[in-house]
């Protein structure tokens, strides 16, 4: 039988240490450690863009871990381009009779289609609320095949490595000295738009991530079932919980103890704030697909958005993820299931934003480690570089393909070799287009907000790709 802890029998410092060990490992309290960072952080720049204090916007990053083979997501369908696609993809090529045709305004001589497992995404595309951005990837500077081969232009470090490319996608800053993410840097700049900042602007449904790490703001962790709270306690009436709460509220002359107590009190208060808000949230009637971790995450994002006023939020940045995209093997079996999951989950999430009346205020976008080789290894595809991505929302200029689709030729002008496409659009340009919509001042003057978020953006030609209103 468990005996309730009696704090009078345990030295106060030891009790705090035990509680810290039990609780700090939990993302619910760890996410509030960002307040400690703020003690020594520089004051963030204040937003200077054309932002109306009362408006609301949310960005939702959907990270596809493993490296999505998006060459089968966006497929050229005109006769010549499909023949090149089919020849290079080999056994991975989707039969032309099965692909889902779409229209586009690119006028690059190609017609396009989508994978047969994403009819829901095609419907949103045809409604003009979903765009595709071709051949995006991490870059330190613009690159061609020639400059890649002769080494005259800086490359992102550790190309084709999962961990390194995940971090470079999430930081948009190869060689980033402080490992902040571009979502976190946006939150640092715009955090004063939220009323009390009781809850971080950055909310993760998928554990810790680099994308949402800022110098001041870090992520607040939420599970698909609600708040995570403090581990080792059974709610506010638990004697251990009461004792712990009483102890951290005691006065102290020790700086660490005061700071730890303040952070812990904030964790307790935030847990209760979010729990109460979600308990009063409107019921979302949109049907989300069952047995989908991605769908469960996105449903909780919709619930959190529905209580934005109760939380005092005018800006929110969400991070969700799903895995399984490292398709070296069994791609023809696995990829249809992966794409179907993404399609049904994103479609349900978009419908839920329509139900909540916030579809024009919520933009969802995909990211991934990298694209994969256009050529096959015989059972799947290997680590690549550039890949195609999805942007979805009511304020998206959808029904179009943005960026430049690669030339489908091994050892051609867009190939490093082995069918690894050199990105023609940088993560900086992709992210900056979203950041401008989110409220970051678009000026490219030195020290300006957009260059604070994307320090290398000035090296690239298109800081706004045009896919957002």
Per residue, the 3-state secondary structure of 280-330, as one string, reads CCCCCCCCCCCCCHHHHHHHHHHHHHHCCCCCCCCEEEEEEEECCCCCCCC
Give the range among 173-182, 357-366, 381-390, 411-420 with minimum mean pLDDT: 173-182
Residue 14's pLDDT is 44
Residue 22's pLDDT is 39
Residue 318's pLDDT is 98
User: Does position 301 have pLDDT exceeding 90, yes or no?
Assistant: yes
User: Does position 266 have pLDDT exceeding 90, yes or no?
Assistant: no
Which residue has better confidence, 290 or 30? 290
Give the range among 4-18, 26-40, 332-346 with minimum mean pLDDT: 26-40
Stated as kind and residue range, the H or E segment containing 401 is strand 401-403
Q: What is the mean pLDDT of the chain?
A: 87
Tens digit of pLDDT for each residue in 149-169?
Answer: 999 999 999 999 999 999 999
**Which residues does residue 202 pair with via DSSP β-bridges, in sequence order?**
317
Q: Is residue 19 within 8 Å of 243, Cβ to Cβ?
A: no
Residue 42's pLDDT is 30
DSSP 8-class letter at 2? P
Burial class (CB in 10 A: 0-12, 13-18, 19+), 339: buried
How much is the average pLDDT of 243-268? Answer: 73
Listed in sequence order, the residues at least 6 apart from 213 whose beta carbon sits closer than 8 Å to its beta carbon are 179, 180, 181, 184, 219
Give the range among 69-78, 229-238, 278-287, 448-457 with minimum mean pLDDT: 229-238
Residue 176's pLDDT is 74
Give the integer Cα–Cα distance in Å for 275 and 281.
Answer: 10
User: Does position 287 have pLDDT exceeding 70, yes or no?
Assistant: yes
How much is the average pLDDT of 433-446? Answer: 97
Give the range among 3-7, 83-87, 258-262 with minimum mean pLDDT: 3-7
User: Does position 53 have pLDDT exceeding 70, yes or no?
Assistant: no
Q: Among the residues of 323-363, which ranges form H helices?
A: 331-356
User: Does position 11 have pLDDT exceeding 80, yes or no?
Assistant: no
Give the range among 30-34, 388-392, 423-427 with minimum mean pLDDT: 30-34
**Which pLDDT band, with edges at 50, 70 and 90, does 330 fall under?**
very high
Place of tokens 């205020």: 361
Give the range among 17-26, 116-125, 283-292, 416-425 with minimum mean pLDDT: 17-26
**Which residues does residue 210 pair with via DSSP β-bridges, in sequence order?**
none
| pLDDT over 70 percentage in the chain | 84
Give the integer Cα–Cα distance in Å for 230 and 247.
Answer: 15
Three-state SS string across 28-55, please?
HHHHHHHHHHHHHCCCCCCCCCCCCCCC
How much is the average pLDDT of 313-331? Answer: 98
How much is the average pLDDT of 462-467? Answer: 98
Tens digit of pLDDT for each residue in 170-210?
Answer: 999 887 777 899 999 999 999 999 976 679 999 999 999 99
How much is the average pLDDT of 422-433? Answer: 98
Instruction: Read off φ and ψ for residue 385, nearest 5 degrees.
Output: -145, -90
- Number of helices (H) and strands (E) in the chain: give both, helices first: 14, 13
């Amino acid at each position: 039988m468990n005996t309730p802890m009696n704090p009078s029998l345990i030295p106060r410092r030891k009790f705090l240490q035990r509680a810290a060990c039990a609780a700090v490992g939990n993302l619910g309290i760890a996410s509030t450690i960002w307040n400690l960072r703020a003690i020594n952080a520089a004051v963030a720049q204040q937003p200077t863009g054309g932002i109306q204090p009362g408006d609301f916007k949310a960005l939702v990053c959907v990270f596809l871990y493993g490296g999505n083979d998006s060459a089968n997501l966006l497929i050229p369908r005109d006769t010549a381009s499909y023949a090149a696609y089919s020849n290079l993809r080999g056994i991975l090529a989707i039969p032309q009779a099965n692909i889902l045709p779409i229209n586009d305004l690119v006028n690059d001589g190609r017609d396009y289609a989508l994978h047969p497992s994403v009819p829901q995404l095609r419907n949103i595309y045809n409604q003009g609320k979903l765009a595709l951005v071709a051949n995006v990837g991490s870059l330190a500077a613009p690159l061609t095949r020639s400059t890649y081969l002769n080494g005259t232009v800086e490359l992102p470090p550790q190309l084709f490595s999962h961990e390194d490319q995940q971090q470079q996608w999430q930081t948009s800053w190869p060689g980033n000295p402080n490992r902040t993410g571009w979502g976190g840097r946006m939150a640092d700049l715009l955090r004063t738009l939220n009323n009390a900042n009781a809850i971080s602007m950055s909310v993760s449904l998928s554990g810790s991530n680099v994308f949402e790490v800022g110098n001041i703001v870090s992520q607040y962790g939420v599970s698909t079932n609600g708040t995570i709270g403090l581990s080792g306690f059974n709610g506010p009436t638990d004697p251990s919980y009461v004792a712990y709460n009483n102890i951290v509220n005691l006065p102290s002359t020790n700086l660490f103890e005061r700071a730890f107590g303040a952070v812990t009190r904030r964790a307790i208060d935030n847990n209760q704030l979010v729990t109460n808000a979600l308990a009063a949230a409107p019921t979302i009637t949109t049907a989300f697909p069952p047995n989908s971790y991605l769908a469960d995450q996105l449903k909780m994002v919709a619930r959190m958005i529905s209580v934005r006023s109760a939380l005092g939020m005018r800006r929110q940045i969400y991070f969700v993820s799903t895995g399984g995209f490292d398709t070296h093997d069994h791609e023809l079996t696995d990829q249809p299931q992966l794409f179907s999951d993404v399609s049904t989950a994103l479609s349900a999430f978009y419908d839920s934003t329509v139900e909540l009346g916030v579809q024009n205020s919520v933009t969802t976008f995909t990211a991934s480690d990298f694209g994969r080789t256009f050529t096959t290894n015989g059972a799947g595809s290997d680590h690549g570089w550039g890949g195609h991505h999805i942007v979805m929302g009511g304020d998206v200029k959808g029904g179009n393909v943005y960026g430049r689709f690669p030339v489908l030729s091994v050892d051609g002008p867009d190939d490093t070799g082995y069918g690894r496409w050199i990105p023609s659009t940088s993560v900086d340009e992709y992210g900056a287009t979203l950041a401008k919509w989110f409220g970051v001042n678009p000026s490219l003057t030195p020290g300006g907000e957009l260059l604070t978020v994307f320090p290398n953006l000035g090296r690239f030609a298109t800081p706004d790709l045009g896919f957002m209103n």
